[in-house]
Amino acid sequence: MAKVFYIGPEDPEPGLLPVGVPLPQIQAIVVGSGGQPCDILEPGEVTIRTPVRARGYLNAAEQTKERFVPNPWSDERDDVLYRTGDVGYYRPDGLLVVEGRLDDQVKVNGVRVEPGEVVAVLSRHPSVRACTVVARQKETGQHQLVAYVVAEEDVTTASLQHHLARYLPAALIPSAFVFLEALPLTPNGKVDRKALPAPEPAQNKEAYVAPYTPLERELASLWKEMLHLNRVGVRDNFFELGGHSLLAVRMAARLRSRLNTEIPVHLLLSAPTIAELSAAITKRMAESSGVQKLNHILIEVENGSLPAP
């Protein structure tokens, strides 16, 4: 059944077009995982409320119970919401955008992820013209989220990760980004996932620069331990070396315990090299008059006066 409509402009904007606004007597409500209506630009499941609807699926009681649910904001017995299974969000202009399906859920590092949610946020970056997100299996057998992006030339992986970190939990941030001139499409206009290239193996494109300060040496030690590497330089990128958002969460916790100060995850995402992260932490500690304390702690650890984490 048709639920929404959209009159496309003669000169369509780049990226994903909206599906429009609900028809008369129809409400399209975007609901989050907590069961509450989503804010503008916040992705969730699109549900439909209308008196003009079917009662359910023929001879499919379980499917009917799953899809046709009581309206939690009404006491009327016949007030029902239909769960479409589509992931979408409302734009500030009131137009509804549908980004994907809940059926596309995947598990990455033990966390269930809806790639459509990631795409919905990633597509709002001003430099992104088109994108899609899929889960790919690595050589180790583990899965990783990979973002395929068509964007302006000045966009960087770090800027996209920082943008995503503002709206999504760490588990939903892709660990690899592949920049394309255009997304491969099937004859019916959908993204051809089989034609998406695998991300290139991580390579260190910068000359090796050894860590120098106590903080740089401590960060390098943690990276080697968590990434199972023999050597890490201050210009190496955490994510290009195989790191991912959940490892970033673990590292933030380790640093928080080690330095006795709050180290937010978004700091690691926006400063993915040891040089950048060291500078960001030092600045953060300086703002709280903790630089001398930081150096004292790290020197004591190196001298063996304090136990390593």
Beta-ladder partners of 185: 191
Q: Parse the chain into domains and list their residue ranges.
A: 4-94, 105-195, 214-303
> pLDDT-based confidence at 148, cuts 50/70/90?
very high
If you search the block for the tokens 């960001």, which residue do you land on? 280
In the structure encoding, which two tokens stand for residue 199, read together?
Answer: 């991300």
pLDDT of residue 150: 92
Q: What is the mean pLDDT of the chain?
A: 78
Burial 259-278 (b: 16+ CB within 10 A, else e): bebebebbbbbbbbbbbbbb
pLDDT of residue 201: 60
Contacts of 212 (CB under 8 A, 6+ apart): 234
Closest-CA residue to 281 (of 213, 205, 228)? 213
CA 131 – CA 15 distance, rounded (Å): 8
The percent of residues in the chain predicted with pLDDT above 70, rounded, is 81
| Helix 274-287 and helix 214-227, axial crossing angle in degrees, nearest 10 | 130
Whether the model pTM is above 0.75: no
Name the residue type at position 82. Answer: Y
Instruction: Tell me: pLDDT of 162 over 90.
Output: no
Q: Which CATH code for domain 214-303?
A: 1.10.1200.10
pLDDT of residue 30: 92
105-195 classified as CATH 3.60.10.10:
no
- Domains 4-94 and 105-195 alike in fold: no
- Spatial contact of 87 and 116, defined as CB atoms under 8 Å apart: yes
Instruction: Tell me: pLDDT of 195 over 50.
Output: yes
End-to-end CA distance of the chain: 59
Out of 1.20.140.150, 2.30.38.10, 2.30.40.10, 3.30.450.260, the CATH code matching 4-94 is: 2.30.38.10
How far is residue 87 CA from its own chain's centroid? 15
Cα atoms found within 13 Å of the Cα of residue 215, Cβ hemisphere only: 20
